[in-house]
């Protein structure tokens, strides 16, 4: 009997990448096989994002491209999940009647059953629930990487940023118990993982659900006691909840990387207030100063929105001033776009597109110059690089391998090494968004899981914690 094949197309944030690995695990446990051919898969799953203005157009355009394949093969199935599915619900099958299943952010585990029901009934199945049914990390997973893994510590968000639709789609914050998080990390390390990234919509508010405001710092320190775990990262923290105990834990725990991605969004106090961000420029820059005092070589990155409603020329200049003061290693910059259902979409003072574009270009120029200056400071220094799979598109032609330094920068290293290996090399060239080390590899530590991977066949499904239907999710915290 030929197994039905699946393909998952993932859009958006790291949480969606994490969830897609869980969807892949669920499908393979249900008997599907990963698609590897030229013809369309028997099942295509879209795990969608709702943050950007063009998210809707992108989804419906891609669904339209699949219509001919669906018409040719009526047994093919198409499923839509993620934040846009949670938002649009039944409207998806109204606009694209060839979609078979729509499911939301809270019921990932239901996908195999919904697919079977749609196949049996020959009718689209739309199932959106309002409360988390199973913590995603409790589900089986098919990880994309054998040596690096996402570990979710919480889902949902209690913030009410006026530009963001995520809290209404992912719900209020629910935290996992630290014992469950650490058990997952230990199991991952036992399977060959050497790097984990702790995930949460607001990762450093972790512990609020069970009344421990210092829980995230404690969790970082506990990660430091796990043998074989070489690197710990986390994303994304909120400046409101960034406390000195977390800075101390980062500085004092050797396997916590000197890297911090902390969204600033704007450098203007007036805009931050309109965004409902509960900090101001002085507090934000003060956190950066304390991080650098504890970790002088930390690479700090950020998110910035240009053209938020009401942003004046002076507001934008304040953002540029903050960028120059912060000296970010890099920044993810966005032109503001309306999201229906958010307070910002109805605010007066929507900034004209041409003004937003001009400001955006100026911000990019300022930040690229800073990124390049910061990168050039590393020329001549030794960096330790965790080699990645596919991190360097030109590696085969240039005789290099590529991966991430401890501070998260992309480094291209002359020499030979495999994914998961750790190499040390001296930086010989710097560009704004990458480093080059053409002097060769000075030290080479092979990936501990290489031998097992070579002889153990395909990566096994990993399941941690409560299985679907076998237990309950921790109680959600009431928000007053």
Read off the pLDDT of residues 188-207 as tens digits, 9 standing for 90 and up. Answer: 999 999 999 999 988 999 99
Residue 139, domain member (yes or no): no
Find the CATH number of the domain harbouring 203. 3.30.750.210
Residue 133, domain member (yes or no): no
Give CA–CA dist 477/231, Å, rounded. 31
Last residue in a domain, options 326, 354, 377: 377
Residue 313, domain member (yes or no): yes
Asked whether 310 and 274 are in contact (CB, 8 A), the reply is: yes
Q: What is the mean pLDDT of the chain?
A: 90
Same domain (yes/no): 339, 447: no
Same domain (yes/no): 91, 163: no
Query: Average pLDDT of 135-148?
Result: 86
Tokens describing residue 166: 């995520």
Query: Average pLDDT of 317-341?
Result: 95
Q: What is the pLDDT of residue 1?
A: 59
Same domain (yes/no): 253, 269: no
Q: What is the pLDDT of residue 325?
A: 98
Tokens describing residue 479: 């928000």
| Residue 152: Cβ within 10 Å count | 23
Same domain (yes/no): 364, 401: no
Asked whether 474 and 175 are in contact (CB, 8 A), the reply is: yes
**pLDDT value at 136 more than 80:** no
Same domain (yes/no): 277, 362: yes
Bigger pLDDT: 24 or 479?
24
Residue 137, domain member (yes or no): no
Last residue in a domain, options 330, 357, 377: 377
List, for residues 172-181, the tens digit of each pLDDT value.
Answer: 888 999 999 9
Q: What is the pLDDT of residue 463?
A: 44
Question: 425: domain range?
Answer: 382-455
Highest mean pLDDT (candidates 27-31, 105-109, 420-424)? 420-424
Find the CATH number of the domain harbouring 285. 3.30.750.200
Last residue in a domain, options 257, 292, 321: 257
Residue 278, domain member (yes or no): yes
3-class SS of residue 320: helix
How many domains does the structure of the chain reveal? 4
Q: What is the pLDDT of residue 464?
A: 43
- Confidence band (pLDDT; 50, 70, 90) for 227? very high
Residue 470, domain member (yes or no): no
What DSSP character marks residue 241?
A: G
What DSSP character marks residue 143?
A: -
Same domain (yes/no): 268, 369: yes
Same domain (yes/no): 229, 302: no
Query: Average pLDDT of 361-387?
Result: 98
**pLDDT value at 469 more than 60:** no
List, for residues 241-276, the tens digit of each pLDDT value.
Answer: 999 999 999 999 999 999 999 999 999 999 999 999
Residue 386, domain member (yes or no): yes
Same domain (yes/no): 178, 268: no
| DSSP per-residue letters across 384-434 | EEEE-SSS-TTHHHHTEEEEEETTS-EEEEES---TT-EEEEE--EEETTE
Give CA–CA dist 409/15, Å, rounded. 21
Same domain (yes/no): 296, 308: yes
**pLDDT value at 383 more than 60:** yes
Same domain (yes/no): 175, 235: yes
Q: What is the pLDDT of residue 339?
A: 84
Same domain (yes/no): 248, 344: no
Bigger pLDDT: 57 or 246?
246
Residue 267, domain member (yes or no): yes
Find the CATH number of the domain harbouring 424. 2.40.50
Name the pTM for this structure.
0.86
Q: At what angle do helices 14-29 and 111-121 cross, to 10 degrees?
A: 60
Same domain (yes/no): 30, 93: yes
Residues 6+ apart with CB under 8 A from 30: 112
């Amino acid at each position: 009997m030929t197994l039905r094949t699946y393909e998952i197309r993932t859009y958006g944030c790291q949480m969606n990448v994490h969830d897609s690995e869980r969807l892949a695990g669920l499908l393979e446990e249900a008997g599907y096989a990963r698609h590897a051919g030229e013809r369309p898969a028997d099942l295509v799953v879209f795990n969608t994002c709702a943050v950007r203005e063009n998210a809707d157009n992108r989804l419906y355009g891609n669904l339209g491209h699949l219509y001919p394949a669906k018409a040719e093969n009526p047994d093919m199935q198409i499923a839509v999940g993620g934040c846009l599915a949670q938002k649009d619900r039944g409207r998806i099958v109204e606009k694209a009647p060839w979609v078979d299943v729509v499911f939301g952010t809270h019921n990932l585990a239901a996908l195999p059953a919904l697919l079977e029901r749609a196949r049996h009934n020959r009718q689209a199945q739309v199932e959106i629930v309002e409360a988390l049914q199973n913590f995603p990390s409790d589900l089986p997973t098919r990880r994309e990487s054998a040596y690096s893994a996402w570990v979710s510590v919480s889902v949902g968000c209690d913030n009410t940023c006026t530009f963001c639709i995520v809290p209404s789609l992912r719900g209020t914050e629910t935290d996992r118990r630290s014992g469950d998080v650490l058990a997952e990390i230990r199991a991952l390390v036992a399977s060959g993982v050497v790097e984990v990234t702790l995930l949460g919509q607001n990762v450093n508010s972790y512990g609020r659900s069970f009344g421990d405001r210092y829980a995230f710092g404690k969790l970082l320190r506990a990660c430091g006691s796990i043998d074989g775990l070489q690197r710990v990262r986390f994303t994304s923290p909120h400046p409101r909840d960034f406390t000195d105990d977390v800075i101390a834990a980062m500085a004092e725990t050797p396997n916590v990387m000197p890297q911090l991605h902390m969204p600033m969004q704007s450098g203007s106090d007036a805009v931050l207030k309109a965004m409902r961000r509960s900090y101001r420029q002085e507090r934000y820059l003060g956190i950066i100063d304390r991080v650098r005092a504890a970790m002088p070589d930390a690479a700090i990155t950020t998110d910035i929105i240009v053209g938020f409603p009401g942003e004046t020329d002076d507001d934008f200049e304040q953002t540029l001033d903050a960028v120059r003061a912060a000296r970010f290693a890099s920044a993810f910059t966005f032109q503001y776009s309306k999201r229906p259902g958010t307070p910002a979409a109805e605010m007066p003072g929507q900034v004209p597109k041409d003004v937003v574009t001009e400001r955006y270009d100026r911000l990019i120029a300022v930040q690229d110059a800073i990124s390049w200056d910061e990168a050039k400071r590393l020329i001549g220094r030794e960096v330790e690089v965790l080699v990645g799979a596919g991190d360097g598109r030109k590696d085969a032609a240039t005789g290099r391998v590529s991966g991430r330094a401890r501070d998260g920068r992309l480094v291209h290293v002359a020499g030979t090494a495999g994914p998961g290996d750790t190499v040390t090399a001296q930086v010989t060239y710097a560009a704004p968004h990458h480093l080059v080390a053409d002097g060769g590899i000075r030290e080479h530590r092979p990936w501990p899981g290489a031998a097992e991977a070579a002889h153990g066949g395909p990566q096994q499904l990993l399941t941690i914690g409560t299985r679907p239907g076998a237990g309950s999710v921790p109680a959600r915290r009431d928000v007053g």
